[in-house]
Chains A and B, each alone.
Chain A
Amino acid sequence: MSRWQIARLVAAKDLRIERRSRVVTNQVLPFAGVTMVMFAFALDASNVLERVAPGLVWLATLFSLLLLVQRSFAVETDDGALDALRVAGVDPVAIYWGKSLALAVELAALEAVLLAAAVFLYGADVPLGGVVLLVATLLAATSGLACVGTLYGGLTAGFSGRETLLPLLVLPVVAPVLIGATRAVESALGTDGVALSEGWPWLGLLSVFAVSFGVVGALAFGPLIDEAA
């Protein structure tokens, strides 16, 4: 089995578990939705909401990411499957890529719903010219978040108190994604008259972040889960 085949196997397994357990659809999605509504209550004035909508979408995404990562590794540690994967000598790079891929798919579905909620709740507008930048931003930011989430999920998987440790470790690291993705989406939506061209450098930052963590995570994941066990 090639590394890519194992990665697909791991991703398919994670997505199958989600399809059966429906944790994302029954718990994470409602949580993200409630977060969006609470933001709407807190920032009642419609002109404020429209201006800050991109940032709120990404904040809700980050909070949801923490739940998704914890769930992704809870299924591995509940009955010792992560240990079993290590004993079986399954390539840790393939495990990392597979789990990142499954997490990215779940995040992308969540972001699509959150963006739709932003359009509905906050009155955000999506001009046709910004669609390419918007989609590219979603892809790059989602990849970066999935890679960071999987790396730190693996690191904390063997620790007691991982539920509180994970946010402490992940949130500072993904701050560049929050900033970059918010600015890029502001440009794509033309929020506050921000020009479309201003969004592309932010997309560049998100892409560099995603590639960096994709590489670093793949190299570090094996030793990290070995140490954490």
Chain B
Amino acid sequence: MSEPDPTQPVVELREAVAVLGGFPVLAGADIRVERGEILLLQGPNGAGKTSLLRVCAGLLPLERGTGSVFGLDLASDRQSIRPRVGLLGHHNGLYRDLTVAQNVQFWGSTVGATDAEIDAAMTRLGVRDRLADVPVAKLSAGQKRRSALACLVARRAELWLLDEPHAGLDAAARDELDATLREATSVGATVMVASHELERAGALADRIVEVVGGQVRT
């Protein structure tokens, strides 16, 4: 198993080609993401934004080209990459019959997080006091998003891959989410956000790239 290289960019893809169901979803994508950055992937539906995130999470293999995350090769070191990556797509990855605290506890425990770390994750995302004992099934969309982010923090994810994170949230919940992401990058996390809402997500991002036809335009 290779060791991560701290001098490398967090994500680097070169001429990346990925295929899903026989169709090319990435067609020679090049991208480089530095540590602590919030990068917005902007583009129309079906442009390849979600596929790009799934490649970075090690869920979708590259057919051609090269790719690395934390300096680790996406082809050969996927198992080393995955624990350091958190992907939040259209789903939150929560267990609806468990409470928020039980969910955060479960995800934190998968990496051996201590009770103090789990507590701190819940405090940081503002779900510790009022929501800890509430079953996920009873939460609003925004509260579920915050709980899911608390799970990412508890399991020490360093690269956050967020697919349309503002979808379904009201204005207050969107502001809270943006503040959370900025705070996450201030303590070392790197965030890649896929969104077609340029106006909203653009204000949050440090850098914006356009994804069109499976290629990345800077």
Residues of A within 8 A of B (CB): 1, 6, 9, 13, 16-17, 20-21, 75, 78-81, 83-90, 229
Contact = CB atoms under 8 A, between A and B. Distances in A.
A87 B110 contact: no
Contacts of A6: 110
B183 interface: no
Contacts of B97: 17, 20-21, 75
Contacts of B186: none
25 contacts: A1-B109, A1-B110, A9-B106, A13-B95, A16-B102, A20-B97, A20-B135, A75-B95, A75-B97, A79-B95, A79-B136, A80-B93, A81-B94, A83-B93, A84-B93, A84-B151, A86-B82, A87-B57, A87-B86, A88-B110, A88-B111, A88-B155, A88-B157, A89-B79, A89-B81
A21 B87 CA distance: 27
Contacts of B85: 87
Given A79-B91, A83-B91, A88-B155, 12 more contacts: A1-B109, A13-B95, A17-B95, A20-B135, A81-B91, A85-B110, A87-B82, A88-B82, A88-B107, A88-B110, A88-B157, A90-B110
A13 B106 CA distance: 7
Contacts of B155: 88
A162 to B, nearest CB: 17
Q: Is the interface of A mostly helix, strand, loop or mixed?
A: helix
Given A13-B95, A20-B97, A87 B106 contact: no
Contacts of A86: 59, 82
A79 B106 contact: no
B213 interface: no
B71 to A, nearest CB: 17
Contacts of B91: 79-81, 83-84
Interface in B70-115: 79-83, 85-87, 89-98, 102, 106-107, 109-112
Contact of B92 (A13, A16, A20, A80): A80
